[in-house]
Structure 1
Amino acid sequence: MTPNDFSTLRDLLRYAVSRFNDAGLFFGHGSSNAFDEAAYLLLHTLKLPLDKLDPFLDARLLPEEVANAIRVIEQRATERLPAAYITHEAWLGDYRFYVDERVIVPRSFIAELIPDYFSPWVAVPHEVTDILDLCTGSGCLPVMLADAFHNAHVDAVDISPDALAVAQRNIGDYELQERITLLESDLYTKLPEKLYDIIVSNPPYVNAESMTRLPGEYMREPQIALAGGADGMDLVRIIVAGAAERLKPQGILVVEIGNERAHAEAAFPDLELTWLSTSAGDDMVFLVTREQLQAKKKK
């Protein structure tokens, strides 16, 4: 197989889909199937609009364009590197973020809840002035939160200085340096003395048994951002335990736990978790109020 074997984007797309399927790749970092992933990687590599495949399918490509495309196809197939690490970009809704192997690829279901301001639990969005994001990673949620809640300042926390460097780049790309403060901290340990209207977190939550079965693509991500201990709830317990004293009277805590609903409910049997609807169902994100957390502490 040489660049001379291909002349059009259609040729490359057919080859890429076959190559990806033959390699048994996993698609869970932005695309759900080999065709969509191949189309995205090829359009990005050829510097074509990501939403316009058909007009270019039969355009003849230059030899160097074909060579670059084949290199990307082979990198994805042989290294099982998530596409986002190859293109250095990931999308959440209409937001584009820079990513590399210092952070997990952004894919939070909390992002779907931000445009509606966590309604109905946030009654007056413009009165929200302080938000905390724990385990911020690439900084994607703080950017979206600051953009939605125009009067809010966001504190974004991560234990990894490498992740915070990526977050800083994304915050700079959106020119939100004045409204987002990055903090290197192990969850609450180095936070300023203040109260928050909203605390959100997409923490490491994969349980130990599931970690042993992750596809190769996930093993290319920072494991510190995935592994959540025996039942996946190690960090979630700390987040829930410390939230009440850091929330304002009407404050809420929103936590993403992926496929770990059973473990979350077992970890907090005396908390009535409210499960929020997302595109993946009603099992991925829970919400609790400060009032609930305070009542739990009194028991």
Structure 2
Amino acid sequence: TPDQLSDYQTLVHRRASGYPLPYLTGRIEFYGLEFEVTPEVLIPRPETETLVDLALARQPATIVDVGTGSGCVAVSLAVHLPEATICAIEISPAALAVAQRNVERHGVADRVQLMVGDVLNPRPGPVDLIVSNLPYVSTGACSSLPTSVRDHEPRLALDGGPDGLVIVRRLLAQAPAVLRPGGGLLIEIGADQGEAASSLARTFFPQAAVRVHPDLAGHDRVLEVLPHLGVRA
């Protein structure tokens, strides 16, 4: 029909102008699962699957996902760890609404608790594992991101302050009050942040083992900090 043709032409034009395809279709695959995405959430990336792989290897019973966005990490963990309970925290109520729909879509609403919060406030826990994909692009680098990212994905989910690690720093500072004995952190970082993030982690966790894991492309991607002596349950 003419209306359908007009709608199609509009979609083609928006895509040609750099509008991200997942926002046009409203969905994307992540870790073998389909997720709803809207312009209120960061589009899940394949690199973040490294974070999920590392978390699953730990077999945690209790997890907090900080900056859950679409909920892709929390839901993937819940699906693959049927005994685990997860608290997913997000500062944006609009993003959390998307996460809620994804939690329900995959039938894990009984084990994934969604909370509006800022980093680890309100404080969950104690938990075995903190996972996080917080904003880590430096403010200065935001302007040189690909147009499709810079102009269409939520700045709140990208901008990590002057050095890209401002919010990660806050998470590291707050984490000791939330982790169980033997607990750990897995934090997604930028490809050029391995050294800086490791140094930061050692400042907050001088007794911990700190490692940086690469993604499939060989770039620095996940900061691992463990074990932590933790708080008593």
| TM-score interval (norm. to shorter) | 0.7 to 0.9
Closer, same or farther: CA 118–172 of 1 in aligned 2, 3 Å: closer
Q: Report the CA distance between 1:116 and its aligned residue.
A: 6.3
Alignment match, 1:264: 197
- The alignment status of 1:202 with 2:139, answered yes or no, reads no
Cα pair 2:47 2:215 within 8 Å, conserved: yes
Alignment match, 1:234: 166
Aligned letter for 1:76? Answer: R
Closer, same or farther: CA 293–236 of 1 in aligned 2, 3 Å: farther
- The alignment status of 1:75 with 2:14, answered yes or no, reads yes
Cα pair 1:138 1:166 within 8 Å, conserved: yes
Q: List runs of 5+ in structure 2 lacking aligned partners.
A: none
- The alignment status of 1:278 with 2:215, answered yes or no, reads yes
Alignment match, 1:86: 24
Q: Report the CA distance between 1:110 and its aligned residue.
A: 3.7
Cα pair 2:178 2:230 within 8 Å, conserved: no
Measure the CA separation in 1 of the matches of 2:224 and 2:42: 23
Measure the CA separation in 1 of the matches of 2:228 and 2:42: 33
- The alignment status of 1:144 with 2:83, answered yes or no, reads no
Residue 273 of structure 1 aligns to a residue whose secondary structure is: strand
Cα pair 2:63 2:127 within 8 Å, conserved: yes
Calculate the TM-score normalised by the size of structure 1. Answer: 0.69
Measure the CA separation in 2 of the matches of 1:95 and 1:154: 18
Equivalent runs, 1:105-254 vs 2, <5 Å: 105-107=43-45, 109-115=47-53, 117-119=55-57, 122=58, 125=59, 128-192=60-124, 194-218=125-149, 219-254=151-186
Calculate the TM-score normalised by the size of structure 2. Answer: 0.87
Measure the CA separation in 2 of the matches of 1:149 and 1:176: 11
Once the two structures are aligned, what percentage of the paired residues are identical? 33
Measure the CA separation in 2 of the matches of 1:269 and 1:212: 30
Q: Report the CA distance between 1:264 and its aligned residue.
A: 1.8
Structure number, greater radius of gyration: 1
Cα pair 1:111 1:144 within 8 Å, conserved: no
Residue 220 of structure 1 aligns to a residue whose secondary structure is: coil
Aligned letter for 2:11? Answer: V
Query: Aligned Cα RMSD in Å?
Result: 2.4
Measure the CA separation in 2 of the matches of 1:238 and 1:266: 14
Deviations 1:96-130 (A, max 9, x none): 100111111111634235356543xx2xx3xx321
Cα pair 2:61 2:128 within 8 Å, conserved: yes
Instruction: Report the structure, 1 or 2, having the larger helix content.
Output: 1
Measure the CA separation in 2 of the matches of 1:148 and 1:114: 10
Aligned letter for 1:152? Answer: A
Measure the CA separation in 2 of the matches of 1:199 and 1:108: 20
Q: Report the CA distance between 1:244 and its aligned residue.
A: 2.0
Closer, same or farther: CA 155–255 of 1 in aligned 2, 3 Å: same
Aligned letter for 2:185? Answer: L
Higher relative contact order (CA 8 A, sep 6+): 2
Deviations 1:214-254 (A, max 9, x none): 12211211101100000001110011112122111121100
Measure the CA separation in 2 of the matches of 1:227 and 1:108: 20
Q: List runs of 5+ in structure 1 lacking aligned partners.
A: 1-61, 295-299
Measure the CA separation in 1 of the matches of 2:41 and 2:26: 11
Cα pair 2:181 2:230 within 8 Å, conserved: no
Alignment match, 1:4: none
Aligned letter for 2:25? Answer: T
Cα pair 1:243 1:290 within 8 Å, conserved: no
